[in-house]
Structure 1
């Protein structure tokens, strides 16, 4: 499971900003990030796809944690119902 990083790096911020309005392919993300950063961020393919992999992994970790919470609540609710059900 990937551990989310504490601070977001500038390239990652502009990748997310580029994707805010609509889905884009790799080259369009690179160009949009460059536009949004006034030319400060010039993403390479390696940087872009490493950041997207990291973000995907972090989202998967958050989703897995949320699923565990839901599953645990369901198990607790089922156990409580079983204890209070008339015999």
Structure 2
């Protein structure tokens, strides 16, 4: 799973959000390392919807513009949980090897 996908799903794990809120949340979660552009986000959301990982929860008009709220699906939560476990296992393995090698861990 690409980092941006992981971060988008992580942002939606706490509840439904609209696009700008997802962009803001991803920046916060990543400590400012990842700053999604709107085009990148909506391309990713379209792909995630097609894959059944996110769904549109509702739409509303705000200041004359459509605001779409996305939510994590059950399938998306399973995929996010699996990826988080995989990343955690990899990080644990790296830290253990660093300890064995006398590195800083």
**Same fold judged by TM-score > 0.5?**
yes
Moved over 6 A (4+): none
Separation of aligned partners in 2, 1:53 and 1:42 = 18
Which protein is richer in strand relative to its size? 2
Which runs of 5 or more residues in structure 1 are unaligned?
Answer: 1-7, 61-87
Across the aligned residues of Structure 1 and Structure 2, the Cα RMSD in angstroms comes to: 1.3
Please give the TM-score of this superposition, normalised by the length of structure 2.
0.48
Which protein is richer in helix relative to its size? 1
Ranked by relative contact order (alpha carbons within 8 Å, sequence separation 6 or more), the top structure is: 1
Which runs of 5 or more residues in structure 2 are unaligned?
Answer: 54-105
The higher radius of gyration belongs to: 1
Please give the TM-score of this superposition, normalised by the length of structure 1.
0.58
Q: How far off is 1:59 after superposition? A: 1.3
